């Protein structure tokens, strides 16, 4: 968990700075003409300068628009006329191309204090304020304004996530969870948002919630990081033994799309060889050889032997293993033969032999649970997904089998 925690923290970008700014967009479309225009009560000097300011604004001539708005100001007869001039100032000061955050903030605050704004414009300005506070480095005001916006308007996914991230940074983990869950529910959630949730759960030691979340998002985002978190959790089970379930961990990672490292491929090959499954071992070695990996060069003799043994199995060795399994007192050998058939892509035969092995029994209960796990894998790969899920759901062992079954069910959703 320490390694994963560091990975998650490093994957959290600065959420909400520029993003919050984009929530409120200053443009001429938000400038509303004063009602007095329709009544022909505006002074000539006001109208001329207002029209010049509006034209300059449309042409993105910001300084001219500001100058003409200033010239019109002394001739504004009422709040509505003053309001439209302040809206021009906001639009000319807060365009996305303008990085004068202090000027934008000042223009928005003056426009709000002047009054006469439609509620939709007030909301837009409040959202712009939060973003500009953040961009100017005033995190405290950005957070306070964003919280006020959420209270007043319900909050967008971006705003909620911004507050959640700030809560996480302040080690207010419960609040971070509350806000990020609202952000996730408010829109299409991102990996960044889920990372905030994972960090908050981890910081509180709520590992059940942490892994339930990973189980949910791994098949959605399909990243090595999430799949490894989920699958490798099986190694923390109370009675996990690498010799018994290590190969199953690698199989799940491969099925999820995780790219195994060289040492992992080597470990997979060795685990398969030790279990008497040369076809699977040879496939791992072949990947190392094609990559010209030093491990393949160093162990060329072993790779060649696995290749020869695999060819022997395909030429009739599998049938001999099956026949030998029928003579054994326990079902263990049936299981090994089934794994070999599964490695060779013969899933119906693998399913048959796994079922025979389970029925024969005379094995440690934990070994039977691992065999059930592998039966589910064979069913899934053989196109019997519903049967596989039913098989996996019945596994309750604490040796990694149940957790790997959970991982395979997540893989099946992908």
CATH number at residue 43: 1.25.40
> What does the block give as tokens for 368?
């039977």
Tokens 């990559």, residue?
Answer: 291
Q: Does one domain contain both 287 and 384? A: yes
Number of separate domains in the chain: 2
pLDDT number for residue 250: 98
pLDDT of 36 above 50: no
> What does the block give as tokens for 246?
């290590």
Q: Which of 94, 127, 153 is the last residue of a domain?
A: 153
Q: Is residue 265 part of a domain?
A: yes
359 vs 27, residue with greater confidence: 359
Q: Is residue 192 part of a domain?
A: no
pLDDT of 22 above 80: no
302 vs 352, residue with greater confidence: 352
Share of the chain above pLDDT 70, in %: 90
Q: Which of 97-111, 219-233, 289-303 has the lowest mean pLDDT?
A: 289-303
pLDDT of 390 above 90: yes
Count of all residues that appear for the chain in the document = 414
Q: Is residue 224 part of a domain?
A: no
Q: Is residue 119 part of a domain?
A: yes
Q: Which of 153, 182, 211 is the last residue of a domain?
A: 153
Q: Kindly state the average pLDDT of the residues 303-314.
A: 91
pLDDT number for residue 299: 85
Q: Does one domain contain both 249 and 391? A: yes
Q: Does one domain contain both 140 and 235? A: no
d(CA 98, CA 95): 5
Q: How far is CA 37 from CA 52, 66, 89, in A?
A: 15, 20, 19
Q: Which of 153, 171, 198 is the last residue of a domain?
A: 153
Q: Does one domain contain both 119 and 237? A: no
179 vs 99, residue with greater confidence: 179
What is the 8-class DSSP label of residue 363? S
Q: Is residue 194 part of a domain?
A: no
Mark out the alpha helices in 35-94 (DSSP H runs): 44-58, 62-72, 79-93
Tokens 């109370």, residue?
Answer: 238
Q: Say if CB 31 and CB 88 are below 8 A apart.
A: yes
Q: Is residue 324 part of a domain?
A: yes
28 vs 45, residue with greater confidence: 45
Domain interval for residue 306: 230-413
Q: Is 396 helix (H, G, I), strand (E, B) or coil?
A: coil
Q: Using 50, 70 and 90 to split pLDDT, how confident is the model at 33?
A: low
Q: Does one domain contain both 26 and 149? A: yes
pTM as predicted: 0.83
> What does the block give as tokens for 178?
């509350």
| Mean residue pLDDT across the chain | 90
Q: Does one domain contain both 256 and 363? A: yes
d(CA 275, CA 147): 59
pLDDT number for residue 61: 95
Question: How many CB atoms lie under 10 A from the CB of residue 273?
Answer: 19
Q: Is residue 219 part of a domain?
A: no
Q: Does one domain contain both 242 and 105? A: no
Q: Does one domain contain both 149 and 44? A: yes
Q: Is residue 138 part of a domain?
A: yes
Q: Say if CB 385 and CB 414 are below 8 A apart.
A: no
Q: Using 50, 70 and 90 to split pLDDT, how confident is the model at 414?
A: confident
Q: Quickly list DSSP for 271-332.
A: HHHHTT-HHHHHHHHHHHHHTT-HHHHHTHHHHHHHHHHHHHIIIIIHHHHHHHHTTSSSSH
Q: Does one domain contain both 117 and 243? A: no
Q: Does one domain contain both 234 and 381? A: yes
399 vs 42, residue with greater confidence: 399
């Amino acid at each position: 968990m320490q390694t994963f925690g560091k990975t998650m923290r490093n994957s959290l970008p600065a959420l909400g700075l520029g993003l919050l700014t984009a929530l409120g967009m200053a443009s001429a479309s938000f400038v509303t003409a004063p009602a007095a225009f329709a009544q022909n009560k505006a002074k000539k000097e006001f109208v001329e300068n207002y029209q010049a300011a509006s034209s300059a604004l449309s042409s993105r001539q910001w300084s001219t628009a500001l100058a003409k708005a200033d010239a019109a100001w002394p001739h504004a007869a009422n709040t509505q006329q003053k309001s439209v001039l302040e809206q021009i100032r906001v639009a000319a000061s807060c365009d996305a191309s303008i990085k004068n955050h202090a000027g934008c903030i000042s223009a928005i605050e003056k426009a709000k204090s002047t009054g006469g704004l439609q509620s939709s414009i007030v909301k837009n300005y409040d959202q712009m304020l939060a973003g500009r506070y953040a961009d100017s480095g005033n995190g405290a005001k950005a957070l306070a304004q964003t919280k006020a916006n959420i209270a007043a308007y319900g909050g967008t996914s971006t705003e909620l996530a911004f507050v959640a991230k700030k809560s996480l940074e302040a080690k207010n983990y419960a609040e971070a969870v509350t806000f990020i869950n609202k952000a996730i529910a408010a829109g299409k959630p991102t990996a960044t948002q889920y990372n905030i949730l994972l960090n908050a759960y981890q910081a509180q030691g709520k590992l059940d919630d942490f892994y339930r979340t990973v189980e949910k998002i791994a098949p959605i985002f399909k990243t090595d990081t999430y799949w490894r978190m989920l699958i490798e959790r099986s190694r923390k089970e109370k009675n996990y033994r690498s010799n018994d379930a290590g190969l199953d961990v690698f199989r799940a990672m491969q099925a999820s799309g995780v790219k195994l490292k060289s040492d992992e491929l080597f470990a997979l090959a060795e685990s398969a060889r030790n279990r008497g499954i040369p076809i699977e071992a040879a496939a791992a070695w072949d990947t190392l050889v094609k990559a010209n990996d030093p491990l393949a060069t160093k162990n060329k003799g072993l790779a060649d032997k696995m290749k020869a043994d695999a060819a022997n199995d395909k030429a009739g060795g599998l049938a001999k293993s099956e026949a030998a399994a029928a003579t054994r007192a326990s079902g263990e050998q049936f299981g090994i033969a089934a794994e070999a058939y599964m490695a060779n892509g013969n899933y119906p035969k693998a399913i048959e032999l796994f079922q025979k092995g389970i029925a024969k029994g005379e094995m440690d209960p934990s070994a039977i649970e691992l065999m059930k796990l592998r039966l589910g894998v064979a069913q899934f790969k053989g196109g019997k997904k519903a049967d596989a899920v039913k098989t996996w759901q019945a596994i309750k062992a604490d040796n990694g089998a149940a957790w790997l079954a959970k991982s395979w069910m997540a893989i099946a959703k992908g």
